């Protein structure tokens, strides 16, 4: 089963980025081209009944499968990045993390009004980053159609913070 494969290959990194955090490192997955194709196909399969006009990937690990997923779904890809990384005019959303605060940006012309946006990232923890991305989507007049993740840390209840934006939250592996 794909969920078990993902869990077996994920590397736990203790005390990163600060003491007490166990970081789920997906980079070992990237060494396996066949598994990467299987993951992309499984993500797309989960979304087969969802209308998606655009995939938005959250920096930086959300770019890895987000772009591949957009290609699989035959829709555009939009990067949502940390502040100061995009070259054109942007809008911003600040938010709190488990270990600090941050700001996300997206180009002001990233989405058209009414577009249905899939937000993709590698991992759902408390949901702070994804809520900030959701607010960016809405600020530009688009709507969040669904969320997709490789991993959901269910015990942190991040999914509860996302349902006001969209009730479709998909993950391939849950802890």
Instruction: Examine the residue annotation and report whether 98 is marked as an active-site residue of this protein.
Output: yes
Buried b (16+ CB within 10 A) or exposed e, 51-79: ebbbbbbbbebbbbbbbbbbebbebebbb
Tokens of 71: 């290609």
Please enumerate, as own/partner, the contacts of 31-39 that have beta carbons within 8 Å and a separation of 24 or more: 35/5, 35/9, 36/65, 36/68, 38/2, 38/5, 39/2, 39/6, 39/65, 39/150, 39/172
Identified catalytic residue from 59, 61, 81, 105: 61
- Is residue 38 annotated as a catalytic residue, yes or no? no
Distance CA 166, CA 175 (A): 21
Helix (H, G, I), strand (E, B) or coil at 36: helix
- Which of 11, 45, 98, 108 is labelled catalytic? 98
- Catalytic residues, by residue number, are 61, 98
């Amino acid at each position: 089963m794909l969920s078990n494969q993902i869990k077996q290959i994920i590397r736990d990194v203790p005390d990163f980025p600060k003491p007490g955090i166990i970081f789920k490192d997906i980079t070992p997955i990237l060494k396996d081209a066949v598994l990467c194709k299987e993951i992309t196909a499984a993500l797309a399969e989960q979304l087969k009944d969802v209308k998606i006009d655009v995939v938005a990937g959250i920096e930086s690990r959300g770019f890895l499968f987000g772009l591949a997923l957009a290609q699989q779904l035959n829709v555009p890809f939009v990067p949502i990045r940390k502040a100061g990384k995009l070259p054109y005019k942007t809008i911003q959303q600040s938010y709190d993390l488990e270990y600090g605060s941050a700001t996300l940006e997206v180009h002001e012309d990233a989405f058209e009004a009414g577009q249905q946006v899939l937000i993709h990232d590698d991992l759902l923890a408390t949901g702070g980053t994804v809520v900030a991305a959701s607010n960016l989507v809405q600020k530009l007049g688009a709507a969040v159609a669904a969320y997709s993740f490789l991993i959901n840390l269910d015990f942190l209840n991040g999914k509860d913070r996302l349902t006001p934006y969209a009730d479709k939250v998909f993950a391939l592996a849950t802890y």
